[in-house]
Amino acid sequence: MKYPEEFIIQTVKQFEAGTSIKGLSRSLKIASSTLYRWVEACKTIPRKKGEYTPAGYQRLLDHAKKLERPLEVIHLSGCIDLIPPHQRLFVLEDIHENHPEYSGYELCETLKVPRIFFATFKKEDAYRRNYTSERSFIDGVSNYIEFFNNERQHETLNYHTPAEFEKSSDCDFSK
């Protein structure tokens, strides 16, 4: 039988006020094992401001674990802001090969690699070329970044290049 949360809290408060589990079990006709479970579930963990219930504390731990993953990726990649954008692709590929538990999406987000840029780069440039060395690939990425920012018009920027858009104060998205 499922009991309302308010009833469970009131019962636990009675226990905390001094009523024994055995007494509560007899008067409420609820198994003592259920009452012990309720008491355990309603225990609070003190903190600076207020307190956590075990369920609230578990939610906090789960949230912290989700936050740790991107931080681990950043740690594995080194200082991401010092890595030139054209080299981040190699870092991303290396981490993905050595740590398959990270999704491509997660890696792109953490490494500050815009997924749409690399999807566009691969479609418009990389798949059309035959890179013969790492140097030629780096040069190709650098050239494409230059083209992407200074020559390629973007629909989302009202058919301006990113460089034009940054320079212009009158670019209006409402058109």
**Cα–Cα dist 74/94, whole Å:** 13
Give the model's pLDDT for residue 35.
92
pLDDT at 106: 72
Q: What is the pLDDT of residue 130?
A: 85
Per-residue pLDDT of the chain (175 residues), as tens digits, is 788 888 988 998 899 899 999 999 999 999 999 999 888 888 776 666 777 777 777 777 777 776 666 656 666 656 666 666 667 667 777 777 777 777 767 777 766 666 677 678 778 888 888 888 878 887 888 888 888 878 988 887 788 887 887 777 554 444 4
Q: How many Å apart are CA 8 and CA 36, to the nearest integer?
A: 11
CA distance 123 to 140: 13
Token pair of 32 as six digits? 């003592």
Cβ-based neighbour number of residue 98 at 10 Å: 9
Q: Position of tokens 């308010």?
A: 6
Helix (H, G, I), strand (E, B) or coil at 159: coil
Within 43-153, residue ranges assigned H as helices are 54-77, 85-98, 104-110, 115-124, 134-150
In the chain, where the domains are located: 5-43, 59-167
> So what's the pLDDT on residue 137?
80
CA–CA dist 19, 38 (Å, integer): 14
Q: Which of 142, 143, 147 is nearest to 84 (CA)?
A: 142
